[in-house]
Structure 1
């Protein structure tokens, strides 16, 4: 094979990579011109998160699945390291700027724990959490592409009914803060990592370089998100907001919902999507993953031959992902990563309930036709 042949074959990929970079620059500049530099930067953060998650093959659903099925601790340990790095910056930032910055704090209650359990099961059914569904859909995965719009619809209805669910009962919001809170958080993260390593199979304990890189990059971008947005990285709210905007545009009356009729949410519905923090990072996740996939392989759809019943299961699971994540005050990002890294006890409750739910979701997949029975 000649150098000329290699160059000819590489040329389309090189052009695709150049177009990827150009698309990122144009998108960020467009948002900055229309909404302001802060929002352009937030879109760039979202693009970076999406590109990192897709490009370095890092996520949240897959590592939990590998831990449960194969006792592979590498992904769980990576998540603990990433959360710990964010916490090291977030705790002092929140303490130094209590009026400018807010944490991902929520109460532990019946709906929150139940929602996290259902979310954990459903994310294993579709093999994607909140960020994972966006990233997988962006990279061409047909299951996630089908689940995503129903995830958004579920998020809208979960928020619509949120007050009723929280009325079932919850504890006061509990938050770890200060040096002691940070120390307790880091010890707890280390303990989870230690347990994962202790029960892992030999050869499934050492993190590869790409996971170290993913932990560092995602932590840096999450910290930057907190500084720029004034709030931690989240996913679920933006998806529900898109549906609320669409419903309002079609003439729907949302006054029956305490959540969507709240002045702050009415204001966000009326404003441009380009000025909503979570919407921008969600768009960035989707587009960033698409650009990373295009950069690596060229963008192609990944369609598997599932039976009709399996596709129906994906639709139902997608809706429940959105609905349950609103009841749980977030997904793997908003509740697990951002909750724990900013000291919220509900983040730990979410993690425990969702992990148990994941075990059941993994068991359900073969019965739903999404993988072969053993």
Structure 2
């Protein structure tokens, strides 16, 4: 994950070893305690989330950064690693969804005006803060101050977007279209291969090799995503959990959410009343932050020096954080929930999301300099 801050002061070797031991022990204790109090399933989901965080931060695997590298320098390695991970998940998810497993659901959504527009805005906003949904969680967990600032506004935006979601979806959408079975899997794999070949064709020859760490990260993420799918009964997602956090805080402050058709529904009212430690998406989100935090401490401690940015850059980070949350709800997911999980479970909206968000990223990259986020 991209971090624009610099280390302040590296702690001694002894203190680092002690911190590592404490972190590992505390994490294992937390997972075991959750298993004992809420159930094995929820403890496993937290562990899977920690695995996501460790992999994303530890192996520097992201979504926003590789798209930026592809657009600016025609470097396809990161994007190709994403496509490989999606293909690996699809190889398992498609047969499971086609089998007799009614407890499993895919990340399926309809293509609509709000979905496409939301994906475009999300793509632009994630380039402003150099982080998508999972990237913002990872960067915040590892001490990136821009992401720490953007995250609460991401949460506010995700809640606001969900509050208005049904109004936006009524602007119009296509019928739900999904790919399934062997034919659907074949089409999905061919589509991923086609994108990969285009990326390789326009890349310089010296940039066509995928680093081993990215191949390892793709393999690990695919394994974790499949584990999440089987344990949670649904694909890996990020945004719903953040919106739920915002809804819980808003409700705790005394606000009445009954005016929102989305949050007034029986299913969402039930989740509002339940603990976050029994919400599948919230658990993996918490785990991602914790996993990234562990990696940061393991390396040399959190970055503590604030980056030198003009005031307009910090304002842009706040606005972009809010837009990330709001637009991702309209887009029915972020790089994880829509692109990664949507395509890997056969939803056509994942492909539409990718095209719109990639176009938005092109715009967002060009907005960084005017907002003071680059020299």
User: With structure 1 as the length reference, what TM-score do the two structures score?
Assistant: 0.96
The equivalent position to 1:269 in structure 2, one of 263, 272, 287, is 272
Q: Is the 8 A contact 1:159 1:327 kept in 2?
A: yes
Q: How far did residue 9 of structure 1 move?
A: 4.7
Question: Equivalent residue for 1:3?
Answer: none
Q: How far did residue 98 of structure 1 move?
A: 4.1
In structure 2, C-alpha distance between the alignment counterparts of 1:9 and 1:225, rounded to whole Å: 37
In structure 2, C-alpha distance between the alignment counterparts of 1:120 and 1:97, rounded to whole Å: 36
For this pair of structures, how many residues does the alignment match? 365
Q: Map Cα deviations across residues 45-81 of structure 1 (whole Å, 9 max, x no partner).
A: 0000001100000100000000000110100110000
1:238 paired with 2:241, answer yes
Q: How far did residue 300 of structure 1 move?
A: 2.5
In structure 2, C-alpha distance between the alignment counterparts of 1:284 and 1:99, rounded to whole Å: 27
Question: Equivalent residue for 1:340?
Answer: 343
Instruction: Kindly report which structure 2 residues correspond to 1:258-337, keeping only aligned pairs within 5 A, or say none.
Output: 258-301=261-304, 303-337=306-340
1:68 paired with 2:71, answer yes
Question: Equivalent residue for 1:172?
Answer: 175
Question: Equivalent residue for 1:38?
Answer: 41
In structure 2, C-alpha distance between the alignment counterparts of 1:103 and 1:198, rounded to whole Å: 32
Question: Equivalent residue for 2:5?
Answer: none
In structure 1, C-alpha distance between the alignment counterparts of 2:264 and 2:311, rounded to whole Å: 38
The equivalent position to 2:29 in structure 1, one of 3, 26, 29, is 26
1:132 aligns to what SS in structure 2?
Answer: helix
The equivalent position to 1:183 in structure 2, one of 165, 172, 186, is 186
Q: Is the 8 A contact 1:16 1:298 kept in 2?
A: no
Question: Equivalent residue for 1:132?
Answer: 135
Q: How far did residue 32 of structure 1 move?
A: 1.1
Q: Which consecutive unaligned segments of at least 5 residues does structure 2 have?
A: 1-10
Q: Which consecutive unaligned segments of at least 5 residues does structure 1 have?
A: 1-7
2:259 aligns to what SS in structure 1?
Answer: coil
| RMSD of equivalent CA atoms | 1.0
2:370 aligns to what SS in structure 1?
Answer: helix
Q: Which runs of 4+ in 1 moved over 3 A?
A: none
Q: How far did residue 302 of structure 1 move?
A: 5.0
Q: How far did residue 16 of structure 1 move?
A: 2.1
Q: How far did residue 14 of structure 1 move?
A: 1.8
The equivalent position to 1:257 in structure 2, one of 251, 255, 260, is 260
Tell me: CA distance 1:87–1:290, structure 2 relative to 1, closer, same or farther (3 Å): same
In structure 2, C-alpha distance between the alignment counterparts of 1:317 and 1:223, rounded to whole Å: 31
Q: How far did residue 37 of structure 1 move?
A: 0.6
Tell me: CA distance 1:239–1:91, structure 2 relative to 1, closer, same or farther (3 Å): same
Question: Equivalent residue for 2:200?
Answer: 197
In structure 2, C-alpha distance between the alignment counterparts of 1:255 and 1:369, rounded to whole Å: 41
Instruction: Kindly report which structure 2 residues correspond to 1:74-89, keeping only aligned pairs within 5 A, or say none.
Output: 74-89=77-92
Q: Is the 8 A contact 1:156 1:244 kept in 2?
A: yes
The equivalent position to 2:52 in structure 1, one of 39, 49, 52, is 49
In structure 2, C-alpha distance between the alignment counterparts of 1:264 and 1:366, rounded to whole Å: 43
Q: Is the 8 A contact 1:153 1:322 kept in 2?
A: yes
Q: Which moved more, 1:107-116 or 1:23-32?
A: 23-32
Q: Map Cα deviations across residues 327-370 of structure 1 (whole Å, 9 max, x no partner).
A: 00000000000000000000000000000000000000000000
Question: Equivalent residue for 2:7?
Answer: none
The equivalent position to 1:153 in structure 2, one of 152, 156, 179, is 156
User: With structure 2 as the length reference, what TM-score do the two structures score?
Assistant: 0.96
Question: Equivalent residue for 1:104?
Answer: 107
In structure 2, C-alpha distance between the alignment counterparts of 1:303 and 1:369, rounded to whole Å: 15
Q: Which moved more, 1:14-23 or 1:86-95?
A: 14-23
Q: Map Cα deviations across residues 80-125 of structure 1 (whole Å, 9 max, x no partner).
A: 0000000000001111144110000000000000000000000000
In structure 2, C-alpha distance between the alignment counterparts of 1:302 and 1:205, rounded to whole Å: 35
Q: Is the 8 A contact 1:141 1:302 kept in 2?
A: no
1:368 aligns to what SS in structure 2?
Answer: coil
In structure 2, C-alpha distance between the alignment counterparts of 1:219 and 1:82, rounded to whole Å: 5
1:203 aligns to what SS in structure 2?
Answer: helix
